[in-house]
Amino acid sequence: MTLAAARKAVAEVSRRLASSGMVPATAGNVSMRDGDLVAISPTGATLAELTAEQVSVVDLDGRLVHGDLEPSSELGLHLGIYLQHNAGAVVHTHAPACTAVASVRDELPCIHYAMLAFGGAVPVAPYATFGSRELAANVVAALAGRSAVLMASHGAITYGTTLAKAYEAMELLEWASDLYLRTLPLGAARVLTAEQTEAVVTAAREKQYGAPRRAVSRTKT
Ligand SMILES: [Zn+2]
């Protein structure tokens, strides 16, 4: 993928996030790594109208390489994830269900097998001021063994090997948070046991779950 394609992809996913309702106004940011460079949405931008030309490009030290706009105020958070984890893209939002759980709980428990896509229960990283080194450090640490975390009294962040995967992870995280909120009036939700978790991982591996595959022809009997 070229840098121009990466800027276009960041702008497209930013607009898609805005239309999904997961990023009110200017809250939220998207980035994608291309070798030693990172294409990232600019600070203060209305994501619903973001164009490829408005996407900033920085090196891994955060120096602006292309673009006229100041990169996202969460640049340090994005760069910290690229340096510490095997991420190709990062998505950060203030999605309402994620933020509701992150405002009250210390963890989103693993109540549905689909959550194993994140690595299981999703931790809530401790609160720190937006854009601060402390927040970046808290989130990077909470991501150990996970591809998603909630951020206390703030929002959510996901990463993936591709931008499409990082976006899908955010959609799934918002769905899982909403699901959890729906269980609360009903009582304590069942949490997947270690045995159930292991069985899901085995089944997913055997069936290549989550990826489209050619149908095996079946003869009618
Ligand atoms: Zn934020």
Question: What pLDDT digit, counting tens, does each position of 86-101 carry?
Answer: 899 999 999 999 999 9
Which pLDDT score is estimated for 217? 64
Which pLDDT score is estimated for 218? 63
Q: How far is the CA of 56 from the centre of ligand 1 (A)?
A: 18
Q: What is the mean pLDDT of the chain?
A: 92
**pLDDT exceeds cutoff 80 at 183:** yes
Which pLDDT score is estimated for 136? 97
Which pLDDT score is estimated for 98? 97
Residues above pLDDT 90, as percent of the chain: 82
Question: What pLDDT digit, counting tens, does each position of 119-155 carry?
Answer: 999 999 999 999 999 999 999 999 999 999 999 999 9
Which among 74, 107, 168, 171 is annotated as catalytic? 74
**pLDDT exceeds cutoff 60 at 221:** no
Which pLDDT band, with edges at 50, 70 and 90, does 204 fall under?
Answer: confident
Which pLDDT score is estimated for 207? 81
Q: How far is the CA of 121 from the centre of ligand 1 (A)?
A: 21
Are the CB atoms for 39 and 65 separated by under 8 Å? Answer: no
* Residues, CB within 5 angstroms of ligand 1 (ion): 155
Which pLDDT score is estimated for 56? 96
Q: How far is the CA of 92 from the centre of ligand 1 (A)?
A: 7
Which pLDDT score is estimated for 208? 74
Q: 18-57: b or e for each residue (b if 16 or more CB lie within 10 Å)?
A: beeebbeebbbbbbbbbeebbbbbbbebebeebebebbbb
The predicted model gives 179-204 an average pLDDT of 93
49 a catalytic residue = no
Which pLDDT band, with edges at 50, 70 and 90, does 9 fall under?
Answer: very high
Question: What pLDDT digit, counting tens, does each position of 33-82 carry?
Answer: 999 999 999 998 889 999 999 999 999 999 999 999 999 999 999 999 99
Q: How far is the CA of 120 from the centre of ligand 1 (A)?
A: 23
Q: How far is the CA of 38 from the centre of ligand 1 (A)?
A: 18
Q: How far apart are CA 154 and CA 94, in angstroms?
A: 6
